[in-house]
Amino acid sequence: MDTPRVGIPDGLASRMSMAEQHEYLRGRIGRGRFGGTGGGSGPGIGAGIGAGFGRRGLLRAGSVAVGTVAGAGLLGSSAAPVAGPVFLPSSAAARVDGSLVAPFGRHLAFGADPKTQMTVSWQVPFPVRKPFVRVGLKPWELSRKIEAEVRPLHTPSLTDELPAVDQYYLHVPLERLRPGTTYYYGVGHEGFDPADPRHLTTVSTFRTAPAAARTDAFVFTAFGDQGVSYDALANDQVILGQNPAFHLHAGDICYADSSGQGDSSDTYDARVWDQFLAQTETVASRVPWMVTTGNHDMEAWYSPDGYGGQNARWTLPGGGLDPVKSPGVYSFTYGNVGVVALDANDVSHEIRANTGYTDGAQTRWLDRRLAALRADRDIDFIVVFFHHCAFSTTSAHASDGGVREAWVPLFDKHGVDLVINGHNHVYERTDALRSGTVRRRVDIGATVDSVRDGIAYVTAGGAGKALYSFPAPDSYEGNASEVESVSSYHWSEDGTKTSETVEWSRVRYTGFSFLAVEVTAGTHPKLEVTALAESGARVDHFTVTR
């Protein structure tokens, strides 16, 4: 392999924080190639995207990501500006006839209130003029037309093998929607109108959350560590078959950064994001795709905290921490379930590029948010998802002691009902735990009372990336292998592995898979949790009550 032109030298990135890596890359590339690390949008971007690009201007100095145009709610309310950093001039300023450019990579995300808010996001391969969303209650009546916010993203050539990349992400936050309602929408731009009969096949749908907290049963799905592969695509299609109300992605989204240390070195290829969003569109264009951040999602080139790229590509609910600095920290409520997304990079003992970057603010917010959710009488269940595992036994990453120390006591304190992780590329499920100790054995098909018995922790990292291995035999539905304990380890504060022997590893499956959770309200609410292989075969199921 040729020596990287500007990447971080081998071994150096592992000793640098995310902010230090960003400063290093910006110093070498920003000043060396562009004559400075600041700069505005540049005439090329403004001319290519079309009128209105400079209306809000660039919103924050210090990192490389986003320029904006006006966005609006469905009924004409102004969208809040998405705080974004300074963006370097684009090299892809050529104008292209809009009739020759088709949007791709559509993905949905709830706003802070899933009953009334939804964001439509997508991508175009070249700058286009006047991008927009059309939306309506019938596919032939897309009467509302809302201008899109444009977030261009530039990635320089980091090696001799990789070209510079310009990507164009578009977002429209829709507000004041009707609860429990199916909407039809299409995305377009000057020269490509989804209302044109030639493009009606590009129209898709979404459905808002029901108005009532205790309503008919619904399903949500979850996994982590997806990437771009045949198995990732297969999992997506089986997920679509579950007709989920929303999907949780527990981080390590596409693996553009294959190193996983949070450095944009010679392993970083921004084009993988294009492949990922195209792969995922069949499901994410219909199902809100709620992501959080994993270690492979820290991309040092774009911003000091590593999330400038994520802010360009995704619009996630507010109400957590700073949505620019910590986009993977948020919560929302759907029916009788409160969902909390966390950024475990902040507390990890294993991968430390962003350890402590919120200075404890995320953990303090988590304490307050869990308390508020548990005090809400309309909420029966609290589901928390994040990347690094509190309890897992694989040979690759096992358990993160930082997660255990910072967050497990809060999960116990506030009565969390289900915790979903990724990071380890397998399926693994614990018994019911309190303070890391087994309170009740939970066999396949069993029922666990989360108040009386404790919390089941699920690692659902088999979304599509290459699989890991266990130090003990697989044991799953139809293939039980009883063991008394498993020899494993957890990551300690000094970054070393501490050996441990655990009795809580109840189900282990080395295969591509995901979770499907059916939620029932009423007098006896329950979560029926099922793990499905990419073939659709069931490998685990259990029920959570309270």
Show the tokens assigned to 293.
């951040």
Q: Does 499 have pLDDT greater than 60?
A: yes
Helix (H) or strand (E) holding 34: helix 31-34
What integer pLDDT is reported at residue 318 of this predicted model? 85
pLDDT at 26: 79
Q: What is the distance between the alpha carbons of residues 333 and 503, in angstroms, rounded to a whole number?
A: 34
> What's the pLDDT tens digit per position in 72-129?
334 333 333 333 333 333 333 346 799 999 999 999 999 999 999 999 999 999 999 9
Q: Across the beta sheet with 118-124, what order do the strands follow?
A: 104-110, 118-124, 165-174, 149-155
- With bands split at pLDDT 50, 70 and 90, how would you rate the model's confidence at 265? low
Element (H, E) at 222: strand 218-223
C-alpha span between 231 and 465 (Å, rounded): 8
Q: For residue 531, list its beta bridge partners.
A: 515, 540
What dihedral angle (degrees, nearest 10) is formed by the CA atoms of 420, 426, 431, 437? -80
CA distance 436 to 278: 40
Task: For residue range 113-166, list pLDDT tens digits in order.
Answer: 999 999 999 999 999 999 999 999 999 999 899 999 999 999 998 777 889 999
Q: 296: closest CA among 330, 265, 341?
A: 265
CB 46 within 8 A of CB 284: no
Question: Is the pLDDT reported for residue 307 higher than 70?
Answer: yes
| Predicted pLDDT of residue 130 | 95
pLDDT at 161: 84
**Bigger pLDDT: 541 vs 85:** 541
Q: Which residues contact 527 (CB under 8 A, 6 or more apart)?
A: 381, 383, 417, 418, 517, 518, 519, 520, 543, 544, 545
Phi, psi for 283 (deg, rounded to 5) = -105, -40
Does the pLDDT at position 23 exceed 90?
no
pLDDT per residue as tens digits for the range 372-403: 999 999 999 999 999 999 999 999 999 999 99
Query: What is residue 95's predicted lDDT score, i.e. its pLDDT?
Result: 67
Residue among 465, 147, 114 at smallest CA distance from 319:
114
494 exposed, middle or buried (CB, 10 Å; 0-12, 13-18, 19+)?
exposed
Pick the more confident residue, 49 or 8. 8
SS (H, E, C) 55-74: CCCCCECCCCCCCCCCCECC
The Cα diameter of the chain in Å comes to: 67
If 0-12 CB within 10 Å is exposed, 13-18 middle and 19+ buried, where does residue 435 land? Answer: exposed
Residue 251 to residue 341: CA distance in whole angstroms: 10
CB distance 71 to 173 below 8 Å: yes
Topology annotation, domain 217-526+537-545? Purple Acid Phosphatase; chain A, domain 2 (3.60.21)
Q: How do the domains of the chain map onto residue ranges?
A: 38-206, 217-526+537-545
Higher pLDDT, 318 or 346: 346
Nearest Cα to Cα of residue 225 among 17, 386, 430, 382:
386
What is the distance, to the nearest Å, from the Cα of residue 539 to the centroid of all Cα atoms in its chain?
Answer: 24
Q: Are strands 513-520 and 218-223 parallel, antiparallel or unpaired?
A: antiparallel
| Average pLDDT for 178-194 | 97
CA angle at 87 for the pair 251 and 275, rounded to the nearest 5°: 40
Give residue 45's pLDDT: 31
Which tens digits make up the pLDDT trace of 205-262?
999 999 998 878 999 999 999 999 999 999 999 999 999 999 999 999 999 998 887 6
360 pLDDT above the threshold of 80 = yes
d(CA 299, CA 279): 21
- At 438-495, the pLDDT tens digits run 999 999 999 999 999 999 999 999 999 999 999 999 999 999 998 999 999 999 999 9
Phi-psi category of residue 41: left, alpha or beta, with phi > 0 → left and psi -120 to 50 → alpha: alpha
242 contact partners, CB below 8 Å, separation of at least 6: 219, 221, 516
Q: Which CATH superfamily is domain 38-206 in?
A: Purple acid phosphatase-like, N-terminal (2.60.40.380)
As beta bridge partners, residue 427 has 460, 509
* φ, ψ dihedrals at 96, nearest 5°: -125, 140
Q: What is the pLDDT of residue 260?
A: 84
Tokens of 52: 């209105």
* DSSP code for 29: I
Asked if pLDDT for residue 43 goes beyond 50, the answer is no
| Single-letter code of the amino acid located at 412 | D
Cβ atoms of 129 and 114 closer than 8 Å? no
